[in-house]
Structure formats: C-alpha cells, structure tokens
Structure 1
Amino acid sequence: MKALLQRVSQASVSIENLEVARIADGLLVLIGIEPQDNQQSIEKMLHKLLNYRVFADEQGRMNHSLTDTQGGLLLVSQFTLAADTRSGLRPGFSTAATPAQAQELFKQLVTLAQQRHSTVQAGQFAADMQVQLINDGPVTFMLEV
C-alpha cells in the first residue's frame, strides 16, 4: 500500500461539480492499493497516517501528528499510485490491485479511520473526482507499508 500524504490548510473532492468531501487543516492522502495488501496493511498505514509527525510544534519543528492536532483526514483512492513506471513512457497497471480488492480494502481503511479519528472524509472509489487542495508548506511524503 502506498500513500501520498500532503499537509493541507484545506482540501476538497468534487464529483460532477458537486462537493462530496471537505476538510480544513489536516492531511489529504491519496491511497494506492497493491495486490499483496491486506488487513495488516490497512492497520499499518492507518497507524502511520494518524501518528506521522508532520505538523509544527511551538518551535516550528515537525513534532505533532494528526492525532495531536485533531486535524481533518481526507482519503482518496488513487490506483495510479500503484502503477509500474520503471520503464517505457506509459504506466503499467499490473502492479495495482484489482478494482474489487482495492474497493474493499479502501472501504475498510475509511471505516477504520472513522472509528479511530474524529474528522475523516473520503472521495468516492473509482469516480472521476476533482481534488482541490492548498498544500501547507508544501509538505508531501510518500509512505509505503
């Protein structure tokens, strides 16, 4: 499982010009699911997302986590993160989970996140989404479990 984590001052997801999710300060996380991912992958990734220290403390150092700040978490499924880009000029998607597997695991991730964190929003799996964000910093990390 791969996650592109972005610290944001705001982020939203729209589908056909209708906003379906929005957060203020927090994390926008694009999620790529691979064939080997499972419940253990979800647990590990969610632990990282909630506890990864990317928010400033009183001295301006990245010492606070999403759990510490109680910021928003916006999860968006993005199968292109799992693409094989090692050769050629066109991505291959044999390294991505099947749509059925990815949808189930993404749903489990969102449900578990909602159980463990107060402000969780999500995009719609497999929809043509427009994602808007203001990256704060900018701060962006690629996480893998």
Structure 2
Amino acid sequence: MDLKLTQSLYDDFPSLFQRHTLGMDRSCMYFGIQILSGWYQILYRLSTFISTVVSEKNLDLEAYCYEQIKEKFGLLRVYMHGGMTEEMGEAIRRAEEESARTCEVCGREGQLENNGWLRTRCKDCEERREQEQAKRTWDRQAARV
C-alpha cells in the first residue's frame, strides 16, 4: 500500500495498528499493510467500525488490534491479535467479500480473476498488467539475442 495511505491508517487508528512497531519475531504487522492501495477505503471503513465497537463496548485497546493485513488468494485477509467480537468477525467477513468486487489497484469495481495467479482487478488495470507482462517478456527475449 502507498506509504501515505498506510501512515494515515496508523495515525487515524493507532490502537488498531499498535503492533506495527514490534519486531518481525513478535508481529506480522512489522511487514506493514500488505495490500495494494485500491483496498484502502475498505480497510478504512473496517477500521472505523472496529474502533467504534471497541470504544462503545469499553473494550481493552491492547486486546483488539490487527496482527496481519494482507492479500491472499486474490482477497483481502485481516487477522486480529488476541481475538474479536462477533460483530468484528462479521465486519471482517464483509470487508473480505467486498474485496472480491473491488480492484486492488485502483479501487474501482473489479472481479476476482485467475490467470495463473488470483487477483482482483478492474478491466483497465488487468489490461495494463497484461501489457506490462508482455513488454517484460519481449524485453527478456530481445536481451537473449
């Protein structure tokens, strides 16, 4: 994810992202938010919801924070450290489902594709990726000559 977007999440939801400062041996958040910027709004809405639940239910901030956020099998995956309420689990499930319909690159409507690798892209971003892939293949072949 773009560094400015990542920092805005860290700034707006410090308790949820508290583990990003820990070492790699203590938290997967050490590696940052491992998704592309197109899913930023999904993650922002999810973080807003979870923060509201923690605040309204007077829950321990230390116990409800992210352990890992990544793309897996073309979808957003969110893992919590320490546990989650039923409401949080449902919100995470909805966010993951929404990611299957949202381009991970630009945030527009997209769909899950399997072209040798699972990814969720809109038509324009997928075409751009295919063109870049073709150019890299062409460049490698030309370099062999």
TM-score range, shorter chain: under 0.3
Q: Which has the higher strand share?
A: 1
Structure with greater helix share of residues: 2
Q: TM-score, normalised by structure 2?
A: 0.27
Q: Structure with the greater relative contact order (CA < 8 A, sep ≥ 6): 1 or 2?
A: 1
Bigger-Rg structure (1/2): 2
TM-score, length of structure 1 as denominator length: 0.27
